[in-house]
Amino acid sequence: MLLDEPWRDACDAVVPMPSSNRFALSLLPVVFAAAASAACAADSSESSAFSDGRSSGDSNNGSTANPGSSSGNAGAENGSAERAVAEADVVQLEGGRLYAMSRSGTLSIIDVSRPGRLAMLGQAYLPGEPFEMYLRGDLLVVMANGAYTVTGQQNEPSRADQGETRGSGAPASSATRTSPDAGAGVLVVDVKDPGLMQRVATFAVPGEIADSRIVGDILYLATYENASCYGCGARPRTMVTSFDVSSPAAMRQVDHVAFESGAQYGSSWGSTGFKRSIVATNERLYVGGHGELAPSYGSGPNEGVIDVLDITDPLGKLGRGAHIETTGAILSRWQMDEKDGVLRVISQRGAGYTANGFGSPEVQTFHIWNTRSLQAMGKTSLSLPRQESLKSVRFDGERAYAITFEQTDPLFIIDLSNEAAPKQRGELHMPGWVFHLEPHGDRVLGLGLDRTDPKGHLNVSLFDVADMDKPTMLGRVAFGSTAFNNDQNITAYEMPEDQDRIQKAFRIFEDGLVAVPFSGGSTSGSGASSCAGLGGGVQLIDWSQDSLAKRVLLPVAGNPRRALRNQGELLAVSDSNVTSFDIARRDVALKTADLVIGSCEARPIPTNNGFPTNGFDAVDDEYHGHSLHCAAAGAGIGARGSLWAGAALGLAVIGVAVRRRRRNG
């Protein structure tokens, strides 16, 4: 099907483009400034000329690196050795080469084989805004949003993007290349020769990418259609498409399943509420999100849905399975988990459009007879000290952790040893709230925020959960900006990723080093910006069984997103730079090399404020995966409210209130 050919059927929504119409990866010669061409005098940079030719390189035996994954239980993300589950990332590190994407539109390949040296081997400009990628041998499977315009034209980088009018060679803002109505794209790039990368396959995908997994040799891509975009259906919907990547150079679409909604584009909920989260095993794909119709703001029934897909076919055929209703919307992947034939879910009604939710979060369990048949087993409602909104969830074996927040943050422990009768156990109160939890045996590390802390709005906390009835906080380290007075801006500007991807940025290494990339926020000048502020970088923290120790802040320009260990150094990757540090001493920042890979992309404030007062804008659900409910200091104050009351809550462990609760579901 040609790009300018009308869509014949909405089900024909993902199509390979003929070679004459594939969007050029625009691997055109890159103009580098002398300072950006290499990190030391001996380095040299090779710009990459784009070739349309196909590579004959072997891609069948490639491995998929996932340097961004943090340690700890990843819930249902598991698979057999034959059909392992792999996740994409914005960086890949293998064979002494770092592959790095920038939101500004670049794909860079950097030689990191020698400590203290970063050399650009090749760079390409991508259409649209790069999302994530997989590395399989000498081939990259690259995903990008906004790769096609609403009329189906290839969204090529401008001449300014290609460095002809910018001294640094960095591409112009992605705002000039994307729009809410643009379509996504998937392309395969041969990177065997970084100086002459070759595009070998391209696919157009209607809507915007929500997430993806590779299971075995099949790529499962979840997209959502939130406006009248190129090739989109008549109503908002989520689509899962499977691709055979056993030989990425000959990648092909296999199947697709669409989950339609009853909402209209631009309606009060439908246009923003259908970006879904996914969880994969080697047998099933769970696709969770909001209910199919606009909720009635507190008076309706269940508000969440999970659609289950059978992905057991090693060739990629999809089987539509059960459709499950959940109490509340599924706002992040961590709310769903499969273990030993049981699906476990925690959700709350009112999530995403009220400050504090409706009622209590509910724990639900479902017995999995097969993918098409799941039966409700047990349910319990969490007993809250006051009306609060569910912020984050994490399952870990026979227990689960849930975070709620109104003015202080309770951490709840749920006993799932008897899945037919989930039981609420201990409860811990602390200032602020935890954005993401990483279990490590009887300890849990949490990345959170507290806008009242004068030491910094971000923090890492260590919890002792050995006694399920009496969890304690052993320590907390605060860092980051103090420029913002609401949680919405902190999560939008300072956090490196949303909740569905935060574990790729929040790194916990085996030797006890914790590395947290974050952006330095600022509200000066023309307004809030994640690029204008100072103080961003990678915060290092050492943790032991019973303590946390704050170490040095590694300064990094341009929205830091990842921190990787390599050759005894730490590589920090942002949208604009790759910077290496010697971390043998963790009390001082010893920069060893720096390389420009793009430009800083300012993160806009989400326009959807998560409250029902004025409906919702017909734009992406910016809060999806950010634990959408932006709580105010007092009940009923919206996420953009200016009435922020109360004094600093303090971080002393002695101020943490602990309650013991034993309840049956």
Structure tokens given for 624: 């999806």
Mean pLDDT of 243-263: 91
The model's pLDDT over 2-45, given as tens digits with 9 standing for 90+, comes to 222 222 233 333 434 333 333 345 443 332 222 233 333 333 33
Q: State which residues form the domain around 119.
A: 85-596
- Rounded Cα distance between 658 and 238, Å, is 42
At 131, is the pLDDT very low, low, confident or very high (cuts 50, 70, 90)? very high
DSSP assignment letter at 51: B
Asked if the model's pLDDT at residue 69 lies above 70, the reply is no
pLDDT value of residue 76: 56
Q: Is residue 78 part of a domain?
A: no
- Rounded Cα distance between 471 and 465, Å, is 5
Asked if the model's pLDDT at residue 567 lies above 80, the reply is yes
- Rounded Cα distance between 530 and 600, Å, is 9
Place of tokens 């200032």: 431
- Pairwise pLDDT comparison (483 vs 255), residue with the higher score: 255
- Rounded Cα distance between 485 and 488, Å, is 9
- Rounded Cα distance between 329 and 422, Å, is 20
Q: Is residue 483 part of a domain?
A: yes
- Burial label, 196 (beta-carbon count in 10 A; 0-12, 13-18, 19+): middle
Amino acid present at 510? E
- Rounded Cα distance between 132 and 122, Å, is 18
- Rounded Cα distance between 82 and 216, Å, is 7
Q: Is residue 32 part of a domain?
A: no
Asked if the model's pLDDT at residue 299 lies above 70, the reply is no
Residue 492 is part of a domain; what is its CATH number? Answer: 2.130.10.10
pLDDT value of residue 151: 72
The model's pLDDT over 491-529, given as tens digits with 9 standing for 90+, comes to 888 999 999 999 999 999 999 999 999 998 665 444 445
- Pairwise pLDDT comparison (536 vs 244), residue with the higher score: 244
Pair 502, 495: CB distance under 8 Å = yes
Q: Is residue 7 part of a domain?
A: no
- Quote the number of domains for the chain: 1
Q: Is residue 652 part of a domain?
A: no
Q: Is residue 617 part of a domain?
A: no
pLDDT value of residue 300: 60
Q: Is residue 215 part of a domain?
A: yes
Asked if the model's pLDDT at residue 486 lies above 70, the reply is yes
Q: Is residue 371 part of a domain?
A: yes
**Range from 304-308, 369-373, 628-632 that averages highest in pLDDT:** 369-373
Pairing of strands 373-381, 362-370: antiparallel
